[in-house]
Structure 1
């Protein structure tokens, strides 16, 4: 299946807002550009009318120009090779593509070939999740990564010593990409599943659950996460804004999860909760 690329020229102050709005429309890959960003969606899920409705809601606040084009799936490699720059997160984690040189000073080195999947580390939420992962003991732990995208957080769990890792995604091509990246980083043992929260029902308890999705999905699926979270287990969430944090905290409290901390970057949040 081909993809639709929507390129938006927009002030940096509004780029994150439009990224979140397009995420709600089904766009699931984003690449920063000099004057905005490009967003990608399966051709059969794209509605230009829905896109225009989003832009019109912000017409009084932000001037936006956009262009739409169809991209054949096999052309994606050219796109991300042109835009994907290596990252260094938390002074410990290198995130790079296979065509980048391995840095000498990285404690952890993750190689990601993202194709159309979200999660290269360039988005604030992925960076925040990795920074939070670095604060938790993963050694010999059982870890779940919901909405795994490229598999980067699951791979990070492996780097931190997790013994069992399950990763879940709703798109078949994303599952394929996550498996490829897991193998590329010598974590072929990661169990990458196709589906949503229903795929984890009845699983053995997880010591750490990672979910970098969006506010609405998190609020809906948190009971499913709690059902498979071990006593004293950790739940790391991201994909929402600072103004959404109280809502997430309230939902967690209803489920018997204790808020412990959160990080913020450009108004995006990653929060940590603990089971009693």
Structure 2
């Protein structure tokens, strides 16, 4: 599977502008991002890139006064681990959960230690949305629940759900690389109650869950929300992220039209995580 790197130089560079670009690129199919001021690096499956219009950059709405220069470069699969090893630092969420790679040593002890070798998959905990989803799992009763990690990326949320005592966990991603990476990370963490699938919301038919985790992007959340609601047990909860602050009202209106009740919203920088109950 080939990947392409989009290198964007932002003028002037601000964290908020980078977040706005990330959100729009995610909706176009870009999967992983690295902020390296004054540049933003974004990665996409080359096959997905070929399906985009040749002028897809023109689809991005830039804040007033912002200009960008960009270039596209093919990335060899064998080089991806080197890229991550040079950029991936261990993180600690709420002093309770450590997310680290196999090459990290001398890390502090926490309640939960998750080993993630991310390769090309999104979801190490570094991005604000994954960080908030980890926080939500740490603060939510998970023991004994059936859990869905939709758009699982590296599988980090599914792995934490099992560590928190979930009865069983289903992890789904429509990207083959992410699916295979999730299987590797499940094995590396010794998980026994997670089943990973390659696919999309069609796989939810006939399934039911106490807790659904969906850290994707606004367009997919809106398109697949009815399927999530149908699979959510009465009294169950759903955590959704991958959206910006400005998207919260849109997401909430769609969820409430489908019968969900708003529970809470959390923010990290310009990103949001919204929780609902059925």
TM-score by length of 2: 0.94
Q: 2:54 aligns with which of 43, 49, 61?
A: 49
Answer yes or no: is the 8 Å Cα contact 1:212–1:239 preserved in 2: yes
| Structure 1 residue ranges, 4+ long, deviating more than 6 angstroms after superposition | none
Taking the TM superposition and a 5 Å limit, the aligned residue runs for 1:156-195 are 156-195=160-199
Deviates more, 1:4-13 or 1:222-231: 4-13
User: Is 1:31–2:59 an aligned residue pair?
Assistant: no
Asked if residue 240 in structure 1 is aligned to residue 231 in structure 2, the reply is: no
Higher RCO structure, 1 or 2 (CA under 8 Å, sep 6+) = 2
Structure 1 106/50 Cα, relative in aligned 2: closer, same or farther at 3 Å?
farther
Per the TM alignment, residue 135 of structure 1 is displaced from its structure 2 partner at its CA by 1.6
Shift of 1:273: 0.6
Distance 1:247 1:59 in 2: 20
Question: What does residue 80 of structure 1 align with?
Answer: 84
User: Which range is displaced more, 122-131 or 63-72?
Assistant: 63-72
Which ranges in structure 2 are unaligned for 5 or more consecutive residues?
Answer: none
5+ residue gaps, structure 1: none
1:241–1:268 contact (8 Å) kept in structure 2: yes
| CA contact 2:201–2:224 (8 Å) conserved in 1 | yes
| Residue deviations 1:82-136 (CA, integer Å, cap 9, x gap) | 1001111122111111111253331111111111010011111000111111121
Question: In structure 1, how many angstroms separate the alpha carbons of the residues matched to 2:231 and 2:59?
Answer: 36
Partner of 2:3: 3
Give the distance between the partners of 2:55 and 2:224, measured in 1 at CA. Answer: 25
Aligned 8 A contact 2:18 2:35 in 1:
no
Q: Distance in 2 between matches of 1:34 and 1:78?
A: 20
- Match among 200, 208, 229 for residue 196 of structure 1: 200
Among candidates 252, 256, 266, match of residue 253 of structure 1:
256
TM-score calculated relative to the size of structure 1: 0.94
Residues 210-236 of structure 1: CA deviation (Å, up to 9, x unaligned): 000111111111111111111111100
Give the whole-Å Cα distance in 1 for the aligned partners of 2:165 and 2:106.
Answer: 21
Are the equivalent residues in 2 in contact too, given 1:95–1:121 (CA < 8 A)?
yes
